[in-house]
Structure formats: C-alpha cells, structure tokens
Chains A and B, each alone.
Chain A
Amino acid sequence: MNGFLLILKNDWLRLTRGRALKILAGMALLSGLYALLYGQTYVRRQRATIAELKRDEQARLDSLATWARLDTSVAANRTADRREKWAKATSAYEVNVPEGYRFAVHDPSALTPLSLGMRDLFPYYQDVWGRAIFRQVFQQEISNPQKLSVGHFDWAFVVIFLLPLLLIALSYNLLSAENELGTYALLRSQPVTIQQIVGAKLALRLLLVVGFLVVITGLAVPVLGIDLAEDGGLLARFLLVSVVYSLFWGAVIFAVVSFEKTSAFNALTLLGCWLVLVVALPTLLQQLLTISQPIDRTTFENLVRDEYGQEQPDSVVLKPYYARHPAYYFPKDTAKRDPDLRVYYARNEQVDLTLAPLVDQYEAAVTAREATVSRWNGLLPAVNALELFNGLAGTSAAAHRDYIRQVRNFHGRWNGFFLPKVFKNELLTPADYARFPAWRFQSTAPDFSIGAGLLKLLLLTGLVFGLGWWRLGRG
C-alpha cells in the first residue's frame, strides 16, 4: 500500500512540477469560462427578445381591453375614431387574428446556456393568430449560416470535444514515459500490479478532470443564476453525464496504454480514437442518413403560400366545415354580415386539414431519423452525451417538436375561445379579456430521463476498460 501511495505521490509531483499541467489547466479553465459566458450572452439576448415580445403583447391586449370598456352611451365616446377602436376591441375576429395575437414562447431553461443544442436552428417564439396554424409554424429565426455551420462554443462543446483531448494530453504517456525515462524497471519492482499502477495514475488524472468539471459546473450556478432548489437536480444530472463521459475516455486511454507502446504511438492512437468517435463516425452517419432517409421539403410550398390561392366558392368550403362543427351552424341566422368572417375560418381550417398529412409525414420522417441515431448512439458516445446534454437543457430537436405540439394545442384553445363568438356574431365583453387563453410553456427538460443513455455509456466504458485490464493482465 505504501508503494502504491508512493507511486501516486511521485506521479502527482511530476505532474505539478511540469509545465504541461499548468498550460493545460489554464487552457481548460479559459475554454470553460468562455463557454459559460458565451452561453450566458446567447441566452441573455434571447431573453431580451422574449421580454420585448411580452411587453408588446401586454401593451396590445391592455390597450384593447381599455377600448373594450369604453362606454359608448356617452356622447363624447361616439366619435368615429373612438367607435372604430371600440369596434375592434369588441370584435372576436379582430382580437383573435390581427390585433390580439399572442406570442407562444419556448422559454430557455436554467441549463440552456450550458448546452445550446439546436436552439439556433429553430425559432424560440411564435406569434399565434387565428388563421391556419401550418401557415404560421416553420418559421426561422435570423441567423448567420456560417455561424450555424460551426455551431456553438458552449459548455457541452468543451466537454464533448475538448475534454477528451485534455485527458489524452495528460495521460497518453502515463506508462510509456516510465519506459522512456528508464524508470519502468524500478516501478515494476514495487509490490503493486501493473493494473494498479496504470489505474492509479489514470485515476489521478481523471480526478483532475472531474475536479475541473465540478469547478466549472459550480461556477455556472452564480454566473448563470441557476436556482439550486429548483434546478439542482437537473444540474447534478448534467454533471453526472459529463463525469461518465470523462470516465469513458479514461477507459479508452486505459485500453490504449495497456498495449505498452511508445508515447508517440499512444498519442497518435488516442487522437485517432478521438477523431473516429467524435468526428468521423458522427459525420459519416449524418451523411449516410441524408441518403438512406431523405427528407423532401420542396413539397412544403403550400405551407407558405397565401390563402388567396383558394379558388373554391364559399358554399363549397362552408358545407363540410359545418358538418365538422355542427355547434357553429345557425341556419336561422341569415342576416348579412360585412365582412362575413365565417368563411375565412372555414378556409383556414381547410388549409390546415390539407396540410396536416404533409406535416405528419414530415414529422414522422424526422422522428425516424432520430430513432436511427438513437439505435447507433450506443457506439457513438459523443453523440449520446450531446443528446443527453440537449435533453437536460431542453434544446434538442425533440424538445422543439414538443414545443411546436404545444403551439398547435394553444392555437386550438385560442381559436376555441373566439370562434363560437364569431359564428354567433357575439361581441367580446370587457370580462372576456380576463378569460383569454394564455400561453404556458411546459418544458420537457425536467422529465427527461438520462437512464438509458447513461447505461449505454457505462456499458461501453466497462467494455473498453475491461479490454485494457485484460491486456495489462496478460502482459
């Protein structure tokens, strides 16, 4: 045991006295801090936009509510301008569509700055009007394509791409250096096994890496303003995934070192492993997916084409509409309306019904692609880890699809409130304003399960570590 501790102590002294650890630690800390600040800046900008949207919505609805309360029996309020404003504020259509539209916001979670995921590729807010929902979703937020192509320098990037390199740089020569310095024989004369020597040295380096993970994750709490009482569990799971991912790379290093080759061989082989697992295989799979599971959105043109394209007469559109919504049909109400907005809603619903199979087909194709990735991610630890990070941060493509599902539901509720009034030709009352459906975003992050992904990562880690153990034992 004393010999074992002596090896550890000697190794620690060698590490701390050399320049490599200081340089690497400095670089790692710098990258970690930059990643935190980048994530914070990115999300802060999105939050500022969200606040602006909320102010806009509040101001519009407050103004409408004020005009809806206008006492039109007072002569002074009967001016053309005032009557027009009152008419707008009490019109179910005006509030439902052009004046009172709402913003459905995909609020960032506390952990979003740590793993920005697909948040730049998809919009994080959507204005919801009463018209066809499929003409509203599938928007894009303004982004620089060059920036989109290189992705984020967030904490997830540091952990997935750079951390393995840090660990490799610290450990590639942990056994070969003994050989090259001529101390190997001395080391082997100690009453400890070769597995224990390599294991101890690797454990020391892993401890340093885990320490780094804990420090940056800890710093994230004050920097990003994470409320531990509310999101502590999520943050702990995030840290757990990063630790297990580091353990996987520890196992890879253990396996490569077990071949007892030169430092140059180890460095090249380990970089090769990194290249294959973090770069080559994911990019290759991405390329193969686009060929084997193609998605064609050129057929989506009708999603953006204006409803002016509908040439059918009103009666042809209204008949099936009333068959679907008998509660909106009032045959005795034959009074002429100007404008008659009933057909507007019937046409918009027809648009949605026409487009729904196309959208469903598209969503099924994307889900199928994701299922393929999930099937393979057991062999792709970097992809697996990023999926887990994005899932915990609520920034995955699946989280976006869930958000769009919520937007569609909200659109249904929003229209469900106003349409009966439009068809009954009823005016909105000031009391109605308090009953308007409000948007409430439900994040998928808190319920995201990391169990299966983590198990795959642990299994692979165990397998690779076992290979190293076996190799060293043989030697």
Chain B
Amino acid sequence: MIRRLIAQNEFTQTRRDRRFVVAGGVVLLLLLVATWTGFRNYQSLADKRAQANQTARAAWLGQPEKNPHSAAHYGTFAFRPKSDLSFLDFGLDTYTGVSVYLEGHRQNDAKFSAAEDATVLIRFGEMTVAFVLQLLIPLLIIFLCFSTFTREREENTLKLVLSQGVSVADLYWGKVRGMSQLVALVVGPALLLAGGLLFAQTGFSATADTLLRLGLFVLIYALYFFLFIAGSVFVSARSESSRSSLLTLLSIWIVACVVLPKATANLGESLFSVPSNYAFKRLIHEDEEKGIDGHNPSNARAKELEKKVLAQYGVDSVSQLPVNFDGIVMQEGEKYTSMVYQKHFRALQEQFQRQNSLATVVGFVNPYLAVRNLSMGLSGSDYAHFLDFKGKAEQYRFGLVERLNNQMKTFSKTGDWEKKVSREFWAKTPDFAYQLPSVGWALRQHALSGLALLLFGGVLLWGIGRSLSNSTLLPAA
C-alpha cells in the first residue's frame, strides 16, 4: 500500500515536471519516428526482395533449351526475405549481403549489403526502435532517476519521510515502481504502434512464432529497463549529491553503451584475425586442386572414379557406359568442392563467432550487450539468422546442381555436350523458399546472452536487496 502511494507520488510529481514532458516527449517522438521509418524501410526492402526472388525464378523458368550443365553455370539467385520483426531491430541486416548467386562448382558469399550504398552517416548507426530502446531509454531513465533520492536529501524531505515510519525498502521500491510507470508511459505508445504495424503487415494473421518473438522482445526490454531503473535509483540513493549521482550514471552509460560495444568488437577483430578474400580464395583453390575438377576428368581422382564406375557397370571404357560419365564426374566434383567450401566457410564463421564471443562474455557485466544480442536474435536480424539463410541457400544450390548433373548423367551419353533438356525441365526444379527458424532456435543461439542478462539482473537485485536489508542503502540516513 505504502509502496503504491510512494510510486503514485513519484509518478505524479515527475509527470508534472516540464523537463520530463520535454525529454519524454522527445524520446517518444523519436521512438514513433523510428517505428514508422523502420516499418517503411522494412516494407520497401521486403517488397523488393520478394519481387527479386520472383524475377530470379522467372529468369530460371524462362531459360531456352540448353545443356543442363550450362544451366548450372547460368545459375539463379536467392534473395534473403526480411523477417517480420526486423523493422524493430535492423540488427546486422544492413551489413550482411542480400542475395546469394547459386551456381555450379562454387559457393558464393552473400553480396550487395545495404551498407555499401550508405554514406558516411552509416558510421553513426541507424535510428531504429532497438537503437532508441537500447541507448536512449536508459538515458531517459538516468535523467528521471538520478535525483530521486538525492533531491529529497538536498531538500531535507528524506528524513521527514523516513520519520513517518516508511521503511527504506518501501521508499526504494515505491520509487522504482513510480519510475517504471513513467517509462511505460513513454515506451507504451510506440510499442502499441509497432504491434499494430506488425499485425497489419501480416494481414492480422501473425504466426504464433512471430507473436512469441514479439512477446519475448517486449519482455527482454522490460527487464532491461527495470534493471536500469533499479540500478539508477540505487545509485541515487547511494550518492551524496545529485551531481555525483548524475556523473556516476552518465559515466556508466557512456562506458556501457558507447565505449564497450566498440572496444570489444575491435579487440575481438584484432585478437582473432580472418584471412583476406584473396587468401581465402587461394586456400579454397588449393584444396580444390587436391581433388577432381568437374571439367577435367584426367587427374588421379578422376581416374579412380572412372575405375569405380566402370567396375560398377561392368564395362571396359566410358564409351560403353549406359550413362553420361561427365555427369557423374561433375557431381562428384560438386560434392568435393562443396566439402572444401564448407570447410573454409565454417572456419571463417567460427572465427567470426570467436570475435563476437568477446562481446557476449562482456554481456555478463554489461546488460546492453546481452540485450543487443537477444534483441536482434528475436528480430531475426542477427548473424545466426543470416548463416541459417546462407546454409539453406547452399542446401538448395547443391540439390539443384545435383538434379542437373543427374539429368546430364541419365539423358545423354559421355561426351555429348550438345544435347539439351526441354524448357519444361526448368519448371520441375523446386523453387527456393526460405523459412525463418523457430523462436526456440533463435533463443538457443543466444542462450549465453540470456543467461548473462538474468545473472546480471540477479546479482544486481541481490546486491540491492542486501543493501536494503542491512540498512546500508542510504549512507547519510
């Protein structure tokens, strides 16, 4: 009861403060603008990519009659669809490639990231909902909370309140509750707008997975804000003056939200180096050289394969084979090069994960980093989702090329590169359709960040609780 009264008092007092109206209004405005612009941007990109996927499919289906292997070289494209929630958090979407060119013999990396089209402004970040929630709301919280206790001390009302029989714990949690209501007042309308846009975009038939992702998104930010509020009110209670409280909180914000994210990423990159594109391609080429070349069946591996196939069909020469040996050679080559590419891409991705792990580990002491990872994971715009897309595109590519090679193997004889498949054949090849992984999968990718956030929250609340029970929260009281 008393806590509710204190909360009500904090809420009413601050709401009437002109400074809160201005600061809260600006943040709310930014949040609404970020939601709207993010949604517009999302819509435009999602439409373009859907169109591009259709165009790529149409180009594939519209191919004239040709040799299946020429079709493998012609290839097709997989454009990465935008996930429903990515308009809230762009995550790494701007920096990862948009499309993968799927062709025979090689795995291409995703190309044409939006960051390459950007101006110098990209170095300042993007005003997304996540950006406002992760960076600006904590700042608003600091602004609201830095003087909650110190002001009372400076105005000599703290002792008065405590002399009325109010416990320090009641006072503390009452203030935390009041501040939480104020933050909800600012964030609520934007989240409602975001939810409305999300439902409108899915034709008011969002999947359970999307709803769960949105629910968890809200929950994680609610916890993040609560921790910031609890921490800021705690610092205010422990500080001797509003000035020192403010400086402490601002220093924490600058280190946690500006310096550490950059420093950990930069240090990670310096500690775990990756090869240059030139060296990467050379390594792949060297490994490919060790195996058979799809176009050149004259090396040792090809001979071994030839021996095996001849024995399998019980004939003496490839000309006697009832199938096209070139098709077999190319499929075996595809398997080998695929293995080589997988090996090198996996090594590269593992190195990137090592670089990123530094930020994940620092997330145990910096909730900003943990929330950033969880937020983009739930929005489907993190590196793990990108890799999932790339993996599925590669599976599709391999299946497509395999189908073309098998067609080559069965419909023509060895050495016949002129025989063409009819146009109907293209329509029989399946289209690429990317399915976003489940929310459970997304959470598993960021289990460590989730644990970091919970652990940080637990330790912070335990420390505050201990301080309250030992009556050491207010040094001057």
Taking beta carbons and an 8 Å cutoff, which residues of A are in contact with B? 31, 34, 38, 41, 45, 49, 52-53, 56, 117-118, 121-123, 125, 127, 138-153, 157, 161-162, 165, 169, 173, 180, 263-264, 267-268, 271-272, 275, 278-280, 282-291, 294-301, 304-306, 308-309, 311, 362, 365-366, 369-370, 373, 382-383, 386-387, 390, 396-397
Whether the Cβ atoms of A283 and B277 lie closer than 8 Å is no
Whether the Cβ atoms of B124 and A289 lie closer than 8 Å is no
B residues near A151, Cβ cutoff 8 Å: 123, 262
Whether the Cβ atoms of B277 and A278 lie closer than 8 Å is no
Whether the Cβ atoms of B44 and A294 lie closer than 8 Å is yes
A residues near B97, Cβ cutoff 8 Å: 140
A-B pairs, top 10 by smallest CB distance, nearest first, are A282-B124, A298-B52, A286-B121, A283-B127, A145-B95, A308-B73, A49-B276, A145-B92, A148-B95, A153-B266
Whether the Cβ atoms of A275 and B118 lie closer than 8 Å is no
Whether the Cβ atoms of B120 and A396 lie closer than 8 Å is yes
Chain B residue nearest in CB terms to A31: B259
Chain A residue nearest in CB terms to B40: A291
Q: Which of B4-12, B103-111, B424-432, B448-456 contacts A (4 or more CB under 8 A)?
A: B103-111
Q: For chain B residues 84-123, which have a beta carbon within 8 Å of chain A?
A: 91-92, 94-99, 101, 103, 108-109, 111-123
Minimum Cβ distance to chain A for residue B118 (Å): 7
Whether the Cβ atoms of A267 and B131 lie closer than 8 Å is no
B residues near A387, Cβ cutoff 8 Å: 120
A residues near B277, Cβ cutoff 8 Å: 123, 139-142
Is B396's CB within 8 Å of the partner chain A?
no
Is B247's CB within 8 Å of the partner chain A?
yes
Q: A117-B120, A145-B92, A309-B74 are in contact. Are A287 and B146 (CB under 8 A)?
A: no
Whether the Cβ atoms of A285 and B250 lie closer than 8 Å is no
CB-defined A-B contacts under 8 Å, sample of 6: A142-B277, A142-B280, A271-B139, A283-B131, A369-B118, A387-B120
Whether the Cβ atoms of B125 and A279 lie closer than 8 Å is yes
Whether the Cβ atoms of B124 and A286 lie closer than 8 Å is yes
Q: Known A-B contacts: A146-B95, A373-B121. Give 16 more (CB < 8 A).
A: A38-B266, A49-B279, A52-B278, A121-B122, A145-B96, A146-B355, A148-B92, A267-B246, A284-B30, A286-B127, A305-B101, A306-B75, A362-B117, A369-B118, A387-B120, A390-B120
A residues near B30, Cβ cutoff 8 Å: 280, 284
Whether the Cβ atoms of A144 and B278 lie closer than 8 Å is no
Q: A287-B126, A304-B108 are in contact. Are A153 and B263 (CB under 8 A)?
A: yes
Q: A150-B261, A286-B126, A287-B128 are in contact. Are A308 and B119 (CB under 8 A)?
A: no
Whether the Cβ atoms of A278 and B99 lie closer than 8 Å is no
B residues near A149, Cβ cutoff 8 Å: 91-92, 94-95
Q: Which of A141, A295, A386 meets B117, CB within 8 Å?
A: A295
Whether the Cβ atoms of A148 and B115 lie closer than 8 Å is yes
Whether the Cβ atoms of B266 and A286 lie closer than 8 Å is no
- Docked pose: A287 CA to B263 CA in angstroms: 25
Q: For chain B residues 352-366, which have a beta carbon within 8 Å of chain A?
A: 352, 355-356, 359
Whether the Cβ atoms of B94 and A283 lie closer than 8 Å is no
Whether the Cβ atoms of B95 and A122 lie closer than 8 Å is no
Q: Which of B155-163, B186-194, B267-275, B327-335 contacts A (4 or more CB under 8 A)?
A: B267-275
Chain A residue nearest in CB terms to B270: A41
Whether the Cβ atoms of B124 and A279 lie closer than 8 Å is yes
- Docked pose: A203 CA to B48 CA in angstroms: 54
Q: A52-B278, A150-B262, A286-B125 are in contact. Are A373 and B75 (CB under 8 A)?
A: no
- Docked pose: A206 CA to B216 CA in angstroms: 47
A residues near B247, Cβ cutoff 8 Å: 169, 267
Whether the Cβ atoms of A304 and B124 lie closer than 8 Å is no
Q: Which of B31-39, B302-310, B315-323, B411-419 contacts A (4 or more CB under 8 A)?
A: B31-39
Is B383's CB within 8 Å of the partner chain A?
yes
Is B41's CB within 8 Å of the partner chain A?
yes
Instruction: Give the number of residues in B that approach A within 8 Å (Cβ atoms).
Output: 90
A residues near B117, Cβ cutoff 8 Å: 295, 297, 362, 365-366, 369
B residues near A144, Cβ cutoff 8 Å: 265, 268-269, 274, 352, 355-356
- Docked pose: A309 CA to B103 CA in angstroms: 12
- Docked pose: A142 CA to B351 CA in angstroms: 12
Is B56's CB within 8 Å of the partner chain A?
yes
B residues near A121, Cβ cutoff 8 Å: 115-116, 118, 122
Whether the Cβ atoms of A147 and B266 lie closer than 8 Å is yes
Chain A residue nearest in CB terms to B103: A306
A residues near B263, Cβ cutoff 8 Å: 34, 153
Whether the Cβ atoms of B121 and A165 lie closer than 8 Å is no
A residues near B108, Cβ cutoff 8 Å: 304
Contact with A along B57-100 (1 / 0, CB 8 A): 00000001000001001110101000000000001101111110
Whether the Cβ atoms of B37 and A140 lie closer than 8 Å is no
Chain B residue nearest in CB terms to A397: B119
Q: Which of A45, A173, A283, A284 meets B243, CB within 8 Å?
A: A173
- Docked pose: A272 CA to B140 CA in angstroms: 10
Is B438's CB within 8 Å of the partner chain A?
no
B residues near A311, Cβ cutoff 8 Å: 64
Whether the Cβ atoms of A286 and B122 lie closer than 8 Å is yes
- Docked pose: A149 CA to B135 CA in angstroms: 15
Whether the Cβ atoms of A298 and B49 lie closer than 8 Å is yes
Chain A residue nearest in CB terms to B243: A263
Minimum Cβ distance to chain A for residue B17 (Å): 13
Whether the Cβ atoms of A147 and B75 lie closer than 8 Å is no
Q: Which of B41, B64, B73, B265 meets A150, CB within 8 Å?
A: B265
Whether the Cβ atoms of A284 and B266 lie closer than 8 Å is no
- Docked pose: A453 CA to B387 CA in angstroms: 41
B residues near A291, Cβ cutoff 8 Å: 37, 40-41, 44
Minimum Cβ distance to chain B for residue A46 (Å): 8
Whether the Cβ atoms of A301 and B52 lie closer than 8 Å is yes
Q: Which of B33, B108, B136, B247 has the most CB of A within 10 A?
A: B247
Whether the Cβ atoms of B270 and A38 lie closer than 8 Å is yes
Minimum Cβ distance to chain B for residue A23 (Å): 10
B residues near A157, Cβ cutoff 8 Å: 262
Is B434's CB within 8 Å of the partner chain A?
no
Is B379's CB within 8 Å of the partner chain A?
no
Is B173's CB within 8 Å of the partner chain A?
no
Minimum Cβ distance to chain B for residue A323 (Å): 26
Minimum Cβ distance to chain B for residue A316 (Å): 15
- Docked pose: A280 CA to B279 CA in angstroms: 39
Minimum Cβ distance to chain A for residue B187 (Å): 17
Minimum Cβ distance to chain A for residue B381 (Å): 10
Q: Which of B74, B270, B355 meets A306, CB within 8 Å?
A: B74
- Docked pose: A275 CA to B56 CA in angstroms: 44
Q: A271-B250, A304-B101 are in contact. Are A264 and B147 (CB under 8 A)?
A: yes
